[in-house]
Amino acid sequence: MGFDIQNVRGNFPILRRKVYEKQLVYLDNAATTQKPDMVIDRLNNFYSYENSNVHRGIHHLSQEATACFEEARDYVQKFLNAHSRNEIIFTRGTTESINLVAQSFGRKFINPGDEVLISQMEHHSNIVPWQMICEERGARLLVVPITESAELNMKAFEKMLSDKTRIVAITHVSNTLGTINPVDIIVKLAHRVGARVLIDGAQAIAHLPIDLQNLDCDFYCFSGHKVYGPTGIGVLYGKVELLEEMLPYQCGGEMISEVTFEKTTFNELPYKFEAGTPNIAGALGLHSALLYLDRLGIRQAAAHEDEVFKYALDKLGQIDQIIIYSRAQHKTTSLSFNLKGVHPYDVGSIIDKFAVAVRTGHLCTQPLTRIFQVPGFVRASFAVYNTTEEVDIFINAVIQAKSMLMS
Ligand code: PLP
């Protein structure tokens, strides 16, 4: 499959639909991406002809479903270049993956007086689970500040690291600012003081090639729905030696080896962390989504997205009275802005009437609204199927919103 934008758009049936009798322009990809035929067909086929529970049956359908489910795991391992398939745990998404680590790692390794480092640009999913576990374990949550240019303050980060730091939990790409954090440097610095590192890859997975053996972080997580896959499926990668030491986060079927009323022994990895019937169709759909992206070529896809993103940044920047928050030198596909003094909901509602889907509000980063002293942001976020023609429609909608709200 070569990269042909019209071909790519043709793979996504939703892009053919109209909203308010106009062609839909979907720029809310950081919230969730649309799904190609390949993923939709996979789900349809599973429920039509293959549906069965995994790991439990000796009958043919169950064995087939199990094989497909485990093949999906193998594909994720390959996609991330993880060392072992046992390091790939299926979860409901990034949120569940982070909660799993906060609870399971936290209860085992975080003690009174220890410190957990996050940053000012984290999504609520990478703030609240750490707040909860720090409170429970008597640990301190430290927050690395960002700079004027919406980048992590690496000098402050280095200063905040110490032998008390148990884990650093940082986003790979900010969903609000688009900033790409220097995760390779963060991992090296954190490991130097003996801290573990969790990278929230929710906004990176569709746009940046990931090589976990090279990156050497201890945990990495993402959601399927942000990489053209289904909702309700995601991944937690964890290093085997850590996962082996951690206790399960949820308990029930699948995750046990032997149960008596006196004692339970746990299943081997990765099943120890997959209690209950998993999202089987979701895992198969995720497999198809990653396959789709692999066939397109993630680097080619990213190059196209970058072109569209830069075009949008440039055009938006030419509009008077616009404040752009996506200012980092290294950034990708999330473009947050405001019209000076205008509430983002008002801007978003007008843009919507042009059939352009953007997101407005705190974007699950309320601390950033306080830092920038705004009620929220308007965010356009791009995916592989967006075009510069769509950007023109979006820019026109912003100009119209401006003339209605600011004249
Ligand atoms: N982390 C980041 C950076 C995100 O952008 C999101 C979702 O927007 C999440 C975590 C949470 O992802 P999910 O809701 O799929 O669990």
pLDDT digits (tens, 9 = 90+) for 270-296: 999 999 999 999 999 999 999 999 999
Protein residue closest via CA to atom 12 of ligand 1: 94
Among 33, 101, 120, 125, which is best to mutate for testing ligand 1, by the most ligand atoms less than 8 A from CB? 125
**C-alpha of residue 170 to centroid of ligand 1, in Å:** 12
Question: Domains plus CATH for the chain?
Answer: 5-30+297-405 (3.90.1150.10), 40-294 (3.40.640.10)
What dihedral do alpha carbons 362, 165, 207, 363 form, nearest 10°?
0
**Cβ neighbours of residue 5 under 8 Å, at least 6 residues apart?**
304, 385, 387
Which of 68, 134, 221, 364 is catalytic? The answer is 364
Q: What is the pLDDT of residue 145?
A: 98
Please say whether the dihedral angle defined by the alpha carbons of residues 286, 291, 294 and 296, taken in this order, is positive or negative. negative
**Quick check: helix, strand or coil at residue 304?**
helix
If DSSP states are collapsed to H, E and C, what string results for 259-281?
Answer: ECCCCEEECCCCHHHCCCCCCHH
Longest dimension (CA), the chain: 73
Give pLDDT tens digits for 54-93. 987 899 999 999 999 999 999 999 999 999 999 999 999 9
Question: Rounded to whole angstroms, how far apart are CA atoms 187 and 161?
Answer: 12
Tokens 């895992």 -> residue? 283
Across residues 202-226, what is the average pLDDT?
98
And the tokens for 96? 């569940």
Q: Which residue has the higher pLDDT, 220 or 254?
A: 220
Residue 221 known to be catalytic: no
Residues lining ligand 1, judged by CB closer than 6 Å? 30, 93-95, 123, 125-126, 171, 175, 200, 202-203, 223, 364
Across residues 243-258, what is the average pLDDT?
92
Q: Beta strand pairing status for 334-339 and 322-324?
A: antiparallel
Of ligand 1's listed atoms, the one at least distance from the Cα of 93 is: 16
Q: Which of 21-30, 247-256, 343-352, 366-375 bottoms out in mean pLDDT, i.e. has the lowest?
A: 247-256
Question: Rounded to whole angstroms, how far apart are CA atoms 174 and 123?
Answer: 8
Q: What is the pLDDT of residue 1?
A: 47
**Quick check: helix, strand or coil at residue 389?**
helix
Query: Where does 82-163 show beta strands of DSSP type E?
Result: 88-91, 115-119, 140-144
Q: What is the pLDDT of residue 127?
A: 98
Tokens 């850590």 -> residue? 242
Tokens 């022994």 -> residue? 265
**C-alpha of residue 226 to centroid of ligand 1, in Å:** 8
Q: Where are the alpha helices (DSSP H) in 138-279?
A: 154-160, 183-192, 212-215, 240-245
Of ligand 1's listed atoms, the one at least distance from the Cα of 31 is: 8
Of ligand 1's listed atoms, the one at least distance from the Cα of 225 is: 15
Helix, strand, coil tally for the chain in percent (to 5):
45, 20, 35
How crowded is residue 352: how many other Cβ atoms within 10 Å of its Cβ?
Answer: 16
Of ligand 1's listed atoms, the one at least distance from the Cα of 200 is: 1
**Cβ neighbours of residue 40 under 8 Å, at least 6 residues apart?**
13
**C-alpha of residue 146 to centroid of ligand 1, in Å:** 19
Protein residue closest via CA to atom 8 of ligand 1: 31
And the tokens for 296? 């397109």
Q: What is the pLDDT of residue 254?
A: 84
**C-alpha of residue 30 to centroid of ligand 1, in Å:** 8
And the tokens for 34? 């649309």
Question: Rounded to whole angstroms, how far apart are CA atoms 339 and 402?
Answer: 7
Q: What is the pLDDT of residue 2?
A: 54
Among 123, 179, 219, 363, which is best to mutate for testing ligand 1, by the most ligand atoms less than 8 A from CB? 123
Protein residue closest via CA to atom 6 of ligand 1: 202
Cis peptide before 270 (omega within 30 of 0): yes
Across residues 318-336, what is the average pLDDT?
97
Give pLDDT tens digits for 291-306. 999 999 999 999 999 9
**C-alpha of residue 62 to centroid of ligand 1, in Å:** 32
Question: Rounded to whole angstroms, how far apart are CA atoms 163 and 151?
Answer: 25
Q: Give long-range contacts, CB 8 A cutoff, 24+ apart: 40-43.
A: 40/13, 41/288, 42/281, 42/284, 42/285, 42/287, 42/288, 43/230, 43/281, 43/284, 43/285
Residue 367 CB-density burial (10 A; 0-12 exposed, 13-18 middle, 19+ buried): middle
Protein residue closest via CA to atom 5 of ligand 1: 175
